[in-house]
Amino acid sequence: MSTLRIGTRGSQLALWQANTVKALLAGRGHQAELIIIKTTGDRLSEQNLSESGGKRLFVKEIEEALLRREVDLAVHSAKDMPAELARGLTVAAALPREDPRDALVLPAGHAAHGLAFSDAVAQLGGRPVIGTGSIRRVAQLRAMLPNARFEPVRGNVDTRLRKLDGAAGKGGEYDALILAAAGLRRLGLGERISALVPIEICIPAPGQGTIAVEIREDDEATRSRVVALTDEDTAMALEAERTLVAKLGGGCQLPLGGIALPTADGQLQLSAVVISADGAQVLRRSATGEMTVPYAIGGRVAKMLLEAGAAAILDEVRGG
């Protein structure tokens, strides 16, 4: 049986994800190797995503390699994937989801671990500088931090933490960062999480915490080898969240959050928010349905948001 070629970015987190998939495949008797592909997003590491093209920057070259049959599968953070995949490609597997919440990270000098979010916020002072490049996070957190100044921060996780902590004898550029808890934990940096941001305060990005495996639609040989990696609850949640984004016309960075979670009685609940960039307009909607029809749940919540005026908010952010 041929060795599977896994396309991945070369960042520390991307390699962790790709090596995890490689190890899972090896555990089922399938050999694989990593093919590192530099994406446009990597080359534009210091630019704000909302100004340079959005999510496709991190997958474009990898998807092109898939379509040229230079790799057999690609491993992504699902939140980095655009709502509409390139023609001929599909998500074939979703690994069990890590904690999807955002995390508040304080500088190393006084970064207590496991605080309540309100207690961590109390340590920030009156006019903190918060590092995040996410419109979604800024729009939702303004309500809790009305006097904060939000500044973009790019680079890999280590680079961002250095910018937060500063050099010896010098303070950092930020008073706190907002990062995905999943990425910190996967890199062994869970102790840097000062507080988790409650979902009621900041709904995560669709797909956050999920590793997705992308293949060519017609590649049944690869599909047969990766499908066993799928966690069904995660896959259903991801489909609901991606349907939500697609129905709302997502494709670039938008002030849109969406999280689908299984309920105690085995159904799937999708909660979503669309919020204006200044935080003045907030639309929250949710729906619960059968786990087997996640696309219907995603479509229903998108319809409720559109009926409430979400299109105008999103068009303003897009510049439309």
Burial of residue 18 (CB within 10 Å: 0-12, 13-18, 19+) is: buried
Query: How many CB atoms are closer than 10 A to CB 309?
Result: 12
Whole-angstrom Cα distance, residue 295 to residue 172? 44
Whole-angstrom Cα distance, residue 149 to residue 12? 29
The angle at the Cα of 289, spanning 286 to 291, to the nearest 5 degrees, equals 120
| 67-70 contact pairs (CB < 8 A, 24+) | 67/216, 69/216, 70/5, 70/7, 70/35
The angle at the Cα of 140, spanning 298 to 149, to the nearest 5 degrees, equals 150
Output the CA torsion sign for 258, 283, 193, 169: positive
Distances (CA, A) of 59 to 53, 110, 190, 221: 12, 37, 26, 22
* Residue 312: both structure tokens together: 């105008």
Query: Phi/psi class of residue 307: alpha, beta or left (left: φ > 0; alpha: ψ in -120 to 50)?
Result: alpha
Whether 55 and 252 have beta carbons less than 8 Å apart is answered as yes
Q: Which residues are catalytic?
A: 80
Query: Phi/psi class of residue 26: alpha, beta or left (left: φ > 0; alpha: ψ in -120 to 50)?
Result: alpha
* Residue 157: both structure tokens together: 């996780």
